[in-house]
Amino acid sequence: MARSTGRGGQGGRGARRAARTTVLVATRKGAWLFHGDPQRRSWRADGPHFLGHIVSHLVLDPRDGRTLLAAAKTGHLGPTVFRSTDRGRTWKEAARPPAFAKAADGTGRAVDHTFWLTPAHANEPRVWYAGTSPQGLFRSEDSGASWEPFSMINDDPQYREWMGSVQDGTPDGPKLHSIIVDPRDPKHLYFGMSGGGVHETRDGGKTFRPLVKGMEVVEGFDAGSVTFHDPHCVRMCPTNPDRLYQQNHCGIYRLDRPSDTWVRVGRAMPKTAGDIGFPMVVHPRDQDRAWVFPMDGTTVWPRTSPDGRPAVYETRNAGRSFKRLDAGMPRKQAWWTVKRQAMAGDTRDPVGLYFGTTSGELWASRDEGRKWACVARHLPEIYAVETAAFA
């Protein structure tokens, strides 16, 4: 079965049979597909698609292995979603992209861009979820052709307070991201908001509740206020949906349900690296293994590789310790930033890992991070990296 990373997957024998990996790269100026040979040694660039469009996310539907969705806009036109069912040879625009309900008094919000795309449960084969900036949650039941506001959160006064204003979010707008579907129950969903915390529903979106206990906030602010929580990336373990990992503005966390208290496992990171960053990847078959890409969160928060020496860090024991993995990367003067959607893994054995930098380089490891090689450079600023195995 084909799948894209970044959400609960199947792993196991079926995934290991996948012969080829494609890396889906979304950038500030378009999208590229990098098709790997069976050994993942050489990569063929296919692109640009949508040259000049800001592409926030490009995702393959793992349920059919052929439907690609791209969240796109230009710097000046409104946002939309494109769909392809032929590996990106042709694209068709959504008839109704994600858009908030119109407010009678003219004060309603407008979607600036769709930021995150998540295929829904395997038993809902045409359903997708989308997260937007400013924060909104949307659902499509026709493979991305039309989208409707989903659940109560978009217009709920309490959620609107937790979302804050545009000034409370990231520089290019506050985001709703990390939409996660429990593979055991299509009504059990999680999402994160930057800012605005992590949230959970068990009734298919009729109600949501915050899940921020144990998460820290910037010094001097009240961790009891959901508003101040800034999860950067939340991941569910494919082999154990009761385990979540999170890279937060304030550290790396693990949550083992039914507990609702996050544990800051990032305390085990070396002090020289710290535990600040954006992306997080979980091993497709081992709930104790995960990878992060730490960035400098000191002084004015440069959010570049600490000391100009980039590295991925891996835990093999659920966050009790971390090991530096940097073979093949520059030893000095590499001031990389990797955004929250810009790191992914495939499901092959050994697992392939991939990340893209804001300076336009795509890096890959085909042995679970032991050695790294640059696949492409001179791309535009990379916003998102996903993996895909086409049917």
Partner 1 sequence: MNVLIPTPLHSYTGRKHVLGSGATLRAVLEDLDRQFPGIRFRMIDEQDRMRPHIRFFVGGHQVYDLEQPLSATDDLRILQALSGG
Phi-psi region of 171 (alpha: psi -120 to 50; beta: other; left: phi over 0): alpha
Give 366's contacts (C-beta < 8 A, 6+ positions apart): 39, 40, 41, 350, 352
Q: Which residue has the tokens 């992914």?
A: 344
Instruction: Answer yes or no whether residue 108 interacts with partner 1 by CB under 8 A.
Output: yes
Instruction: Answer yes or no whether residue 113 interacts with partner 1 by CB under 8 A.
Output: no
Written as one string, the DSSP assignment of 48-60 is EESTT-EEEEEEE
Q: How many Cβ atoms are within 10 Å of 101's Cβ, its own excluded?
A: 12
Among the candidate windows 9-17, 94-102, 204-212, 357-365, which touches partner 1 by CB under 8 A? 94-102
Q: Which is nearer to partner 1, 101 or 218 (CB)?
A: 101
Instruction: Answer yes or no whether residue 102 interacts with partner 1 by CB under 8 A.
Output: yes
Instruction: Answer yes or no whether residue 51 interacts with partner 1 by CB under 8 A.
Output: no
d(CA 69, CA 84): 7
- Which residue, among 326, 331, 322, 299, has the nearest Cα to 312 in the 3D structure? 326
Instruction: Answer yes or no whether residue 390 interacts with partner 1 by CB under 8 A.
Output: no
Instruction: Answer yes or no whether residue 378 interacts with partner 1 by CB under 8 A.
Output: no
Which parts of 134-193 interact with partner 1 (CB under 8 A)? none
- Which helix (H) or strand (E) segment is 14 a member of? helix 12-17
Among the candidate windows 74-82, 163-171, 172-180, 359-367, which touches partner 1 by CB under 8 A? 74-82
Among the candidate windows 71-79, 162-170, 211-219, 281-289, which touches partner 1 by CB under 8 A? 71-79
- Using the rule CB under 8 A, which residue among 17, 19, 38, 74 binds partner 1? 74
Instruction: Answer yes or no whether residue 76 interacts with partner 1 by CB under 8 A.
Output: yes
Q: Which is nearer to partner 1, 108 or 125 (CB)?
A: 108
CB of 177 to partner 1, least distance (A): 21
Contact indicator for 116, 69 with CB cutoff of 8 Å: no
- Which helix (H) or strand (E) segment is 194 a member of? strand 189-194
Residues forming the site for partner 1 (CB under 8 A): 52, 74-78, 80, 93-95, 97, 99-103, 106-111
